Structure 1
Amino acid sequence: MADYHFVYKDVEGASTQWDDIQRKLGNLPEKPPAFKPAPFTPAPDGDSIPKDKAWIDEKNEDELEELEDDLDDDRFLEEYRKKRLAEMKETVKIAKFGSVVPISGSDFVREVSQAPPEVWVVVLLYKDGYQECGVLLRCLEELATKYPATKFVKIISTDCIPNYPDRNLPTLLVYNNSAVKANYVGLRSFGRRCTPESKFCI
């Protein structure tokens, strides 16, 4: 008959009286500490996080639109969402230029004379091949990026005003509400140095 031997193992970390005596005599190593799992902490629920002004400020326009259904019951967030959307749209509306746009004679009325009353338009009369025109154009290109709410356009002088004298180039016209508010003839109007910093403020 086969002889079966069973080895009994107690619960991990348990110790017998015999083992304790052997440890006191130094015959066994110290008993390892019992394993204790780290306390369970559930992950935070996104819906339970308080939603305040800072939380809304981090959202872009598309995300705010997606939140519309979720925010119907919260008056503050709904009103603030509308305010933020209005601010975003206004920013886009204001910063709609930012460069010097070439136009032709047929474009002048639409682009300059019929510009909205709140828009100031700076018109450069120029001709290719004139060094002074190139100098002023470079200054205007820099100004256009600094003042994106102001429209900057350039047009060949004789396309705008037939027989306009080349000796008057470059000429700068400032329009608002269909009227000329200022004009500058030649670089002499801006002093000895022509830099964006020496220009008028739009």
Structure 2
Amino acid sequence: MGDYHFVYKDVEGASTQWDDIQRKLGNLPPKPAPFKPPAFTPAPDEASLPKDKSWIDQKTEDQLEDLEEDPDLDDDRFLEEYRKKRLAELRESAKVARFGSIIPISGSDFVREVSQAPSDVWVVVVLYKEGIPECGVLMQCLEDLATRYPATKFCKIVSTDCIPNYPDRNVPTVLVYNNGAVKANYVGLHSFGRRCTPEGVALVLCQSDAVLNDGQSGSDPSRNAVIEGVRKRFIEKVVTEHEDDDDGSSSD
């Protein structure tokens, strides 16, 4: 027995003369456009791309080193010089941004990690004790600063591991070192103001020297520039908190 449920389908996009008349009279919606696949575009060949400044900027350090053997760059003195400059920038950036967090050390590490640190590196050491709330408050601020200023070395050490019998009433204590010498020390959380914030701690640390270094200002950043940046962030934070309070009060 034949299949009486078969439905004939015409070529996609085709229509009958009757359908065309009905569309002219407005009894049928406009005929949809037939499907047309997008034109095939082959993936660009990297070898055919123009070799210019932006092309070099996209390269990693390893790729830039490989380009040293590229004969095309030898023919273009500008690109070869720019390749060397870009490679030097990447290496310098990797060298400067070498910390970025608080490094835990022990008593036996102190001389190597702090006293013998390179002369161009400022080291901030916090003496702390677990379970003392003031230490936790200051540690949060220093963790924030360690992220913002990766070229400054931040370390933490248990107070009695650094100085035997060091009184708990003196923790947290912050020592600032540079070129093997103590440049400043701050005993107790009160040294950083009534309300301890990352911005407040930053201003105290930079009272006399440019202790904080974000790695963007060279090896000898201006103390005034650092302080100005800290003040700007502090103002932005106050404004943001004020706006958040206004939004919260208006929604009640």
Letter in 2 for 1:76: F
| From 103, 106, 111, the counterpart of 2:105 | 103
- For 1:194 and 1:48, how far apart are their aligned partners in 2? 57
Which residue of 1 is the match for residue 200 of structure 2?
198
Which residue of 1 is the match for residue 173 of structure 2?
171
5+ residue gaps, structure 2, are 1-42, 207-211, 213-252
How far does the alpha carbon of each residue in 1:75-119 deviate from its partner, in whole angstroms, 9 at most, with x for none?
221111111111101111111101111101000000000000011
- For 1:104 and 1:48, how far apart are their aligned partners in 2? 56
Secondary structure of 2:68's counterpart equals coil
Alignment of 1:11-30 (within 5 A): none
| CA displacement at 1:68 relative to structure 2 | 1.8
Identity, % of aligned positions: 77
Secondary structure of 2:75's counterpart equals coil
Q: Could you say which structure has the higher helix fraction?
A: 2
**Higher CA-based Rg:** 1
Letter in 2 for 1:193: R
Letter in 2 for 1:160: C
Matched residue count:
161
- For 1:193 and 1:150, how far apart are their aligned partners in 2? 24
Which residue of 2 is the match for residue 57 of structure 1?
57
| CA displacement at 1:160 relative to structure 2 | 1.0
Which residue of 1 is the match for residue 216 of structure 2?
none
| CA displacement at 1:49 relative to structure 2 | 4.9
| CA displacement at 1:48 relative to structure 2 | 5.8
Secondary structure of 1:72's counterpart equals helix
| CA displacement at 1:175 relative to structure 2 | 0.5
Alignment of 1:1-202 (within 5 A): 49-70=49-70, 71-200=73-202, 201=206, 202=212
Higher relative contact order at CA 8 Å, sep ≥6: structure 1 or structure 2?
1
| CA displacement at 1:51 relative to structure 2 | 2.6
Secondary structure of 1:116's counterpart equals coil
User: Would the alpha carbon gap of residues 46 and 144 (structure 1) be closer, same or farther in structure 2, given more than 3 Å must change?
Assistant: closer
Q: What is the root-mean-square deviation of aligned Cα atoms in Å? A: 1.9
Which residue of 2 is the match for residue 36 of structure 1?
none
How far does the alpha carbon of each residue in 1:16-42 deviate from its partner, in whole angstroms, 9 at most, with x for none?
xxxxxxxxxxxxxxxxxxxxxxxxxxx
| CA displacement at 1:45 relative to structure 2 | 7.2
- For 1:49 and 1:99, how far apart are their aligned partners in 2? 40
How far does the alpha carbon of each residue in 1:103-160 deviate from its partner, in whole angstroms, 9 at most, with x for none?
0100000000000001110000011111101111111111111111111100111111
| CA displacement at 1:52 relative to structure 2 | 2.3
Q: TM-score of the superposition, structure 1-length normalised?
A: 0.74
Which residue of 1 is the match for residue 33 of structure 2?
none
- For 1:44 and 1:159, how far apart are their aligned partners in 2? 61
Letter in 1 for 2:87: L
